């Protein structure tokens, strides 16, 4: 099937991110009117961060918890879908009264990452001169994203987080927080994330980036103000490939096997059910995400190396002073448990990696909320 034939209907917006004039939903914003200097060079002359909060802050902010989302997540970690929020909270089972992150006790803060598309400055945002950033959006690293989150913490009056928790890309940023600012992280929960992106992980990402950049509607990244569908075909191909790495072979085989959508005539025009499953996730992402943000955030994940300019991984991990738990998903083939074992072995006091048992692969850190809740409970008892 060609990319053109697979392109979603032109009725889709050019990108699926939040736009000025859309309902704000539960979002709040902080605006920085001074430059954010970037690790690889250049700067963002100004910055806006969208975030959501649950619970009430203590007077000294000692009950503040930072939750960091994965690649296509956003600030809406809890609550229903509704105006301004196309999907329900991605960790709704963990955040709320009586839940692991009990909002009667904790003040939970969830920012949308810099470079994202759900209210925080990213490629679909306007520059100071009013034009879209598009291809001019600068290269970001995880450290740049954490520097912006540090500024947000300062704006909220949080000197030290009671807990920082994140999985996958969010875990990379949580790790950067604890290494770069050890005195500002009391407890740390790292889920399904590595010390550095490996060659294989960069390779998987490179194919996804090429899929997006090969879309005729990409226009070098400057598509946001052009008529047409936007690079949804390329984004869809990237999502299909990524989603295979997010799930396990066991789950896909058990769930779909060789089942065909047209069992009465599987030879002419039939489609395997697993293909329709991937199509569904591709179309779903096009309705809520921006291809430019996917590129920027994926490149930032590729840059992840906690030991860069710090004397290597072991030296960097020794900087961590937080009470730390590291957890792996036993069926994760994207960030396999050996990578979390490396983290646990190198972080003072972390001792051993905990295993989340799941048939779902990498996405187990999002799905197995009961097991994640138990890990949270160990840290914040």
What is the per-residue pLDDT across 201-232, written as a single tens digit (0 to 9) for each?
999 999 999 999 999 999 999 999 988 789 99
Is 243 designated active site?
Answer: no
Percent of the chain having pLDDT more than 90?
Answer: 91
Helices 291-302 & 199-213 angle (0-180, nearest 10)? 160
Residue among 125, 168, 248, 358 flagged as catalytic: 168
The answer on pLDDT for 51 being more than 90 is: yes
pLDDT for residue 327 = 98
Q: Is 61 left (phi over 0), alpha (psi -120 to 50) or beta?
A: left
Each as own residue / partner, the long-range contacts of residues 204-207 (CB below 8 Å, 24 or more positions apart, any chain) are: 204/241, 204/242, 204/245, 204/334, 205/298, 205/299, 205/301, 205/302, 206/302, 207/241
Catalytic residue among 144, 215, 290, 332: 332
Indicate if the pLDDT at residue 309 is higher than 50: yes
Whether the per-residue pLDDT at 52 is higher than 90: the answer is yes
Of 321, 292, 160, the residue nearest 224 (C-alpha): 292
Q: Above 90 in pLDDT, residue 157?
A: yes
Q: Side by side, which strands form the sheet with 28-32?
A: 28-32, 47-54, 107-111, 64-68, 163-167, 187-191, 323-329, 353-356
- How far is Cα 178 from Cα 185, in angstroms, rounded to an integer? 6
Ordered structural domains, the chain, with CATH: 28-380 (3.40.50.1820)
Among this protein's residues, is 332 annotated catalytic?
yes
- Grade residue 3 by pLDDT with cuts at 50, 70 and 90: very low
304 noted as active-site residue: no
**What ranges make up the beta strands (E) of 261-365?**
323-329, 353-356
- Helix then strand count (H, E) for the chain reads 11, 10
The residue annotated as part of the active site, out of 76, 181, 224, 362, is 362
- For residues 336 and 321, what is the distance between their CA atoms, to the nearest angstrom? 25
Reported as type and span, the H/E element at residue 111 is: strand 107-111
The length of the chain is 381
pLDDT at position 2, please?
39
Mean of pLDDT over the chain: 94
**Mean pLDDT (whole number) for 240-262:** 94
Whether pLDDT at 284 is above 80: yes
pLDDT band at 261 (very low <50, low <70, confident <90, very high): confident
């Amino acid at each position: 099937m060609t990319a053109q034939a697979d392109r979603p209907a032109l009725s889709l917006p050019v990108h699926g991110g939040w736009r000025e004039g859309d309902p704000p939903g539960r979002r709040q914003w902080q605006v920085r009117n001074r430059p954010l200097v970037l690790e690889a060079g250049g700067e963002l002359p100004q910055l806006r961060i969208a975030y959501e909060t649950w619970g009430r802050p203590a007077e000294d902010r000692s009950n503040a918890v930072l939750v960091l989302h994965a690649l296509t997540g956003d600030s809406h970690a809890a609550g229903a879908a509704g105006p301004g929020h196309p999907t329900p909270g991605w960790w709704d089972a963990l955040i709320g009264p009586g839940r692991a992150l009990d909002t009667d006790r904790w003040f939970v803060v969830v920012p949308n990452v810099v470079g994202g598309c759900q209210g925080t400055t990213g490629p679909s945002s306007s520059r100071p001169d009013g034009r879209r950033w598009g291809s001019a959006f600068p290269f970001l690293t995880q450290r740049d994203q954490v520097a912006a989150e540090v500024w947000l913490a300062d704006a909220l009056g949080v000197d030290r987080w009671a807990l920082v928790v994140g999985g996958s890309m969010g875990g990379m940023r949580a790790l950067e927080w604890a290494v770069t600012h050890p005195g500002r992280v009391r407890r740390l929960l790292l889920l399904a994330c590595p010390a550095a992106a490996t060659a294989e992980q960069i390779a998987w990402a490179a194919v996804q980036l090429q899929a997006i950049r090969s879309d005729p509607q990409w226009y070098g990244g400057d598509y946001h103000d052009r008529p047409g569908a936007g690079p949804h075909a390329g984004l869809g191909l990237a999502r299909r490939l990524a989603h295979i790495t997010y799930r396990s072979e066991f789950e896909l085989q058990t769930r779909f096997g060789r089942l065909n959508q047209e069992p009465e005539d599987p030879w002419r025009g039939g489609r395997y059910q697993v293909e329709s499953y991937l199509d569904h996730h591709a179309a779903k992402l096009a309705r809520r995400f921006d291809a430019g943000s996917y590129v920027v955030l994926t490149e930032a994940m590729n840059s992840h190396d906690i030991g860069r300019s710090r004397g290597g991984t072991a030296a960097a991990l020794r900087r961590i002073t937080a009470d730390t738990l590291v957890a792996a998903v036993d069926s994760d083939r994207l960030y396999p448990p050996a990578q979390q074992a490396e983290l646990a072995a190198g972080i003072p006091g972390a001792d051993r990696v905990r295993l989340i048992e799941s048939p779902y692969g990498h996405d187990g850190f999002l799905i197995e909320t009961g097991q994640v809740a138990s890990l949270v409970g160990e840290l914040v008892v």
